[in-house]
């Protein structure tokens, strides 16, 4: 988003005009940023045979998936529905990794039938898998390294009390199960969390996997997850992926030499690829002054972007309608029947009713975590690609909310 001649634009597409065309609230994504972030990772990890598996859960619109597929990415899917979305978006089964947690074995069986890579993070599930397929279907195994890392307790997934992964302390048990069922393990996976700043955390996780890898003779790849931190404020620190690439290439080269052959290394970025590409554009409904706070109420809320309320996440907010206005202090809040604050005590250019505010870094876990809470429809999504806006999801209507409902007390349609 750039300010050009007093108007905010994305790839020379005027944002206020977009709001007039598609209404608000509105998600807008910049394809150039997504592709640029993907290229940055490919360059950073070029010292290794690497594969970038986009974490679909971050933003799963099929146009975004297809964009990354065309760029050369693979797909990390955590549900069978994400697997199917990936296939519909053009990914081949051999370029999709299915990494579920706590699912019924039927979901894993369905994924096997679809031909995608299987990643298992539970001993019981591995035993069920082994009894079904033995060495006829290879699988990856997710290891919990017992490393505490991540920007919020809810996204720290590699510690000893995490529900994710097979404890590294259970390695002997894991090996007995693999041997007993003659399971072919072709990959080892680790992921410790999100918003990780220090490259050393990734290296330590990798070292845990490298040490365990000697027990698995049929490995084809090592999956080191992701969690790369992106900046949410101008002064924010972020993961130096180039420095990480240098450190990881050295460690991985040494590991492959010890292992006896060169493997692939996979990464699963989600937020890193799409977060900075996304804006949530909202309209100011009302201004309200209380004894202590100047509230700006907008036509959106935690039903559209839950990260500030769920994780305490910071998202920069800009008044794109009045970029030259005097700076004043506001709290930007939603229209949901809860305290849904997008940003408290923010300095914004003077806000007026009807102004458009842009909430930045909304590409990751924005629409994908949205809901129909308070029976409010979800917003439209627009992708700016090669200088042109494309509607990639229409705005929901009340009819959409009612599609799956049945009124057992009415003999006629709710629309009659």
Tell me whether residue 256 is one of the annotated catalytic residues: no
Instruction: Round to whole Å and give the CA distance between 16 and 345.
Output: 25
* Strand stretches in 244-367, DSSP E: 264-267, 278-289, 294-298, 317-319, 327-333, 341-349, 356-359
Q: Which two tokens stand for residue 330?
A: 């506001």
The three-class DSSP label of residue 309 is helix
Q: Which residues of 245-256 are buried (b: 16+ CB within 10 A; e: fewer)?
A: bebbbebbeebb
Residue 120, SS3?
A: strand
Secondary structure (DSSP) of 355-389: -EEEE-S-SSSSGGG---GGGPPPPEEEEEETTEE
Q: Please state, as a whole number, how many other Cβ atoms lie within 10 Å of the Cβ of residue 230.
A: 20
Tell me the C-alpha to C-alpha distance, in Å, between residue 380 and each of 22, 356, 387, 391: 7, 16, 19, 8
β partners of residue 156 = 193
Q: Six-digit token pair at 359? A: 């909430």
Q: Answer for the pair 244, 44: CB distance below 8 angstroms, yes or no.
A: yes
User: Would you please indicate which residues are annotated as catalytic (active-site) residues?
Assistant: 337
């Amino acid at each position: 988003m750039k300010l050009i001649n007093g108007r905010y634009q994305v790839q020379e597409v005027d944002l206020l005009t977009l709001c007039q065309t598609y209404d608000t609230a509105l998600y807008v994504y910049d394809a150039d940023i997504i592709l640029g972030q993907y290229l940055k990772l490919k360059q950073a990890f070029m010292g290794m045979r690497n594969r970038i598996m986009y974490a679909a859960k971050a933003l799963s619109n099929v146009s975004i998936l297809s964009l990354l597929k065309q760029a050369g990415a693979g797909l990390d899917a955590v549900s069978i529905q994400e697997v199917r979305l990936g296939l519909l978006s053009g990914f081949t089964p051999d370029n999709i990794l299915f990494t579920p947690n706590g699912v019924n074995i039927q979901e894993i069986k369905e994924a096997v039938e679809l031909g995608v890579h299987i990643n298992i993070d539970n001993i019981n599930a591995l035993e069920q898998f082994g009894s079904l397929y033995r060495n006829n279907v290879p699988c990856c195994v997710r290891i919990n390294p017992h490393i505490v890392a991540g920007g919020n307790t809810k996204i720290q997934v590699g510690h000893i009390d995490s529900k994710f992964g097979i404890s590294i302390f259970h390695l002997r048990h894991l090996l007995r199960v693999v041997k007993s069922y003659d399971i072919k393990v072709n990959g080892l996976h680790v992921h410790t969390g999100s918003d990780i700043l220090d490259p050393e955390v990734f290296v330590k996780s990798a070292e845990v996997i490298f040490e365990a890898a000697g027990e698995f003779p049929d490995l084809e790849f090592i999956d080191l997850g992701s969690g790369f931190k992106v900046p949410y404020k101008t002064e924010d620190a972020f993961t130096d992926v180039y420095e990480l690439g240098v450190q990881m290439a050295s460690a991985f080269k040494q590991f492959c030499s010890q292992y006896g052959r060169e493997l692939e290394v996979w990464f699963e970025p989600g937020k890193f690829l799409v977060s900075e590409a996304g804006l949530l554009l909202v309209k100011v409904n009302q201004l309200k002054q209380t004894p202590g706070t100047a509230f700006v109420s907008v036509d959106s809320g935690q039903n559209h972007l839950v990260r500030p309320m769920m994780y305490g996440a910071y998202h920069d907010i800009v008044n794109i309608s009045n970029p030259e206005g005097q700076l004043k202090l506001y709290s930007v809040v939603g229209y949901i029947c809860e305290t849904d604050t997008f940003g408290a005590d923010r300095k914004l250019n003077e806000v007026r009713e009807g102004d458009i505010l842009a909430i930045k870094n909304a590409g990751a876990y924005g629409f994908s975590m949205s809901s129909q809470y308070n029976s409010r429809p979800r917003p439209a999504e627009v992708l700016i690609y090669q200088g042109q806006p494309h509607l990639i999801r229409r705005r929901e209507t009340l009819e959409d909310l009612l599609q799956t409902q049945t009124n057992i007390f009415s003999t006629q349609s709710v629309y009659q």
